[in-house]
Amino acid sequence: MARTSNTIQQAEIEAYQAFATEHGIELEGQDGQDNGKVVVEFVAEQMDSMISKTSLEAALPYLKDKLIFKTAAQKALETVIRSISVSERQLFMDWFKRQTHIVNDNDSDQALENACNILIWATQRGGATEKNFDLALGNLPGKGIKIHYKPKKSTFEGGRHSGKQFDYSDRTNRAHADTHASSEAYEDDDGPIRGIKPSQQQEAATEGLSESEALWKQEAEKIAVGHTHSQTAELAAVTGRSWREIYSKRMEIIRRAEKVRG
């Protein structure tokens, strides 16, 4: 159908949006803008046609190499996102952003796959809740579903040939500060609280742990000290079959205490 106006009509915009959604053509961001420009130039200008489902289907074979399509990960995530409420989406987004050990940047397929797999697992087992999100991270690898982790940061600061000078005074000061902080956190009027001190945890052997378990161990150790002596003792007493389980149990203790403080 030949064009009847030089201006793109609302009906044409809606026809393109529906067609793009059906065929996985990117509509959002700069990629979406570029796609729209390609379609208008080809269909409206070169074909001199109104933008409709019919004209778009005729143009698609010629535009496939010029358009940007959504990845499989994007389409999968959009499908599961449509199955939950707006409040559940926000709850998940807030939780996902707080994760420090899994890939969660918005621009990568690895982050989209992580989000999709976690949401699917959670919604199939009771709903989109923070507890289920935490459980998903611990259970998915055991089901053969890959979770993408951020690369470990190297702690290497210099060696024999690095040119970095060793500062004995700095190490002495830090050691003194660590010892002082540890005694404050773990001692009360009756003496040391029984449990695993952070310094002991950090020195514990990590050989034999998988990459994910090593990361969960780091996360669990970050929350080993509570706001009170009694909470610290409770956190230190937590045991589990894996560091992921220990982390989840400690988070439950912290959340429970936060609700009480209100």
Phi, psi at 102, each rounded to 5°: -110, 155
CA angle, 192 then 195 then 199, to 5°: 85
Question: What's the domain count of the chain?
Answer: 3
Report the pLDDT value the prediction gives residue 57, as an integer from 0 to 100: 94
Residue 229 tokens, joined: 């002596």
- Tell me if 145 sits within 8 A of 117, measured CB to CB: yes
Report the pLDDT value the prediction gives residue 175, as an integer from 0 to 100: 39
One domain, residues 128 and 179: no
| Residue 188 domain-assigned (yes or no) | yes
Report the pLDDT value the prediction gives residue 10, as an integer from 0 to 100: 92
One domain, residues 185 and 257: yes
Domain stops at, among 63, 89, 107: 63
Q: Which residue segment(s) compose the domain that 234 sits in?
A: 168-261
Write out the chain's pLDDT in tens, 262 residues: 678 888 889 999 999 999 998 898 988 888 889 999 999 999 999 999 999 999 999 999 999 899 999 888 888 888 888 889 999 999 999 999 999 889 988 678 899 999 999 999 999 888 899 999 999 888 888 778 888 988 876 554 555 444 554 443 443 344 344 434 333 333 333 333 334 444 444 444 455 567 777 777 878 888 888 777 777 878 888 888 888 888 888 888 888 887 776 6
- Tell me if 116 sits within 8 A of 76, measured CB to CB: yes
One domain, residues 76 and 128: yes
| Residue 148 domain-assigned (yes or no) | no
- Tell me if 118 sits within 8 A of 140, measured CB to CB: yes
| Residue 4 domain-assigned (yes or no) | no
- Please enumerate in sequence order all residues whose Cβ is within 8 A of that of 222, keeping only pairs 6 or more positions apart, or say none: none
One domain, residues 54 and 81: no
Of all residues in the chain, what percent are helix, strand and coil, respectively (each to 5)?
Answer: 60, 5, 35
One domain, residues 187 and 253: yes
Distances (CA, A) of 23 to 1, 43, 68, 250: 22, 17, 11, 45
Distances (CA, A) of 8 to 20, 28, 42, 107, 205: 16, 19, 13, 31, 66
| Residue 163 domain-assigned (yes or no) | no
One domain, residues 45 and 77: no
| Residue 97 domain-assigned (yes or no) | yes
| Residue 85 domain-assigned (yes or no) | yes
One domain, residues 125 and 200: no
One domain, residues 33 and 85: no
| Residue 49 domain-assigned (yes or no) | yes
One domain, residues 48 and 77: no
In terms of DSSP H, where are the helices of 24-162? 29-39, 53-63, 72-81, 86-98, 109-123, 130-139
One domain, residues 54 and 88: no
One domain, residues 44 and 24: yes
Report the pLDDT value the prediction gives residue 106, as an integer from 0 to 100: 67
Domain stops at, among 63, 85, 108: 63
One domain, residues 213 and 253: yes
Report the pLDDT value the prediction gives residue 63, as an integer from 0 to 100: 92
| Residue 200 domain-assigned (yes or no) | yes
**CA–CA dist 102, 209 (Å, integer):** 17
3-state secondary structure at position 100: coil
